[in-house]
Structure 1
Amino acid sequence: MLKQRTALQSEIRLRPGFGDALVANNESDLTLSQRAAVLGIEIHGFHRVYRTHARGIRRRLEPHESFGVAELIRNRLRLRGIHVQVLPVGPSDFVVVHQQRDTSGQHTEGRLPGVVRKVLREALVALNVCSTPEVRIAIGIGEPHAGINGLRRSHQEATRALEVVRLVGDDDGDGTISQAGSYSILTATPTHEGQLFVRQYLESLLDYDRKNGGEYVKTLVTYFEEFGNIQQTSDRLFLHLSTVRYRLKRIEKITGLSFAPRRRPALAAARSQACTPVRR
């Protein structure tokens, strides 16, 4: 009994440690691999990482509460034939690591986010940590990659996808990094200025694209990446010059941005915030 209790206490301590180390991305491959091995994560296979964020939580979960929620999610998924490791991260977020035999994972990708969201919502309500009657849970999904560096990369992709899901206002939705497309560039910078830029100028454009199936965000990002060169923007997007000019006029109207020459210093600053390279 004492041995079992010691093992349980050790796992309660190790799981958040591994999750936080994955998030911080500041440990060596060897150290992270050793942590993974202790938790039963086979690092040589393919892994797809899911990152959750719950909105409406009024306090940090205690370590034993986080462990209990993680175990509940893992056991519910196991009943459906999906074997994962669930790691607490921060106050109330979780990282779900799903080992896959191949890179498709189509048989589980559709089911897993829904199960995780349902179980996590039920657990948070039962723990009485919610500040609102309805807990909204967003989930970002990375692509499957092999090895310890692949695990890091999938987590980075899941984090970026989660940021995009939240940025477009879908606090109870989920999305993959491949679905994020050009939107992911707008979340590449963690700076306060970058977030202000997105909120001030681009929320209306994001909303317009989402409602109308447009590609104004993609056009704007490409225009920034080409340093305001309309011809190069046209070439990259395979669009006629007049189409690019029309889109830029519409973007000015929707966002309030100005592409006039006198505004180039401001656009240069905007470009630096919107086009920070995505780290792999």
Structure 2
Amino acid sequence: MSGRLFVVATPIGNLDDLSPRALETLREVKVIACEDTRHTRVLLDKFGVATSTVSLPAFAEGQRAGAILDRLLNGDDVALVTDAGTPAISDPGEKLVSEAVAAGVTVVPIPGPAAIIAALSAGGLPTGRFHFLGFLPRQQSEARAMIDEVRQLSATLVLYESPRRLGDTLRLLAEMLGNRRAVVARELTKLHEELVRGPLDDLVSRYADAEVLGEVVVLIEGRTGDTRWSEGEVKSAIERGLAEGERLKSLTTELSKRSGWPAQELYRIGLSLKTTGSHS
């Protein structure tokens, strides 16, 4: 008889958020599969858990999942954890869970902390429906394609971002989505927890040159009934595009799809901006 795979959510900052059920599971399984054994050992030592661990980092999950699956099929109960939050949600574990399900192994969720839910619950934006993007692709063309795919959704958009990329990502979101309401949630459940709320343009200014520390969740308001950008938003988007070296004709054609403005009118505004010396 095969063992069971327990998908165990662990704290995203405050170690006291570990649930009693999660703690009991970590003590009773045969082995714990960790994103980083050294990181998880800090948690285990705090609660006196002596269970052995094996490493399952994101970069090697494909190579190492098979050995863990073999242990499950040989009858070992295994707990799956990541450095913080719920495994397999923009974190290692998705492949192992998929392979376990395919092999007929019982997979048991042990729910708990998740940064996306913490941010949504305290962010102040609509939570009835939301769309989780994970991390945007590093290639800007791919990131633009992903944002374009969801820009018409009325659901709140949620994404993770690294501190060093936050400023660039906020600029891209403002350019493509307009000046929507947004929230930057940082260091959730930790000592320096911070939720900054405001229009995207304000957040772009705040984080343009800021040194940001800690993990970041970004929430963006979904599309509202008013889909036409203001003239200020249009000018800002054109100026940003021209500054990045885009050709005016292709830029205004693309912006017309998102702004609610005719491409011809956008082109006229772009020419006016060039004439006044904003861009050569």
TM-score interval (norm. to shorter): under 0.3
Of Structure 1 and Structure 2, the greater helix share is in 1
TM-score by length of 2: 0.28
TM-score by length of 1: 0.28
Of Structure 1 and Structure 2, the greater strand share is in 2
Larger radius of gyration: 2
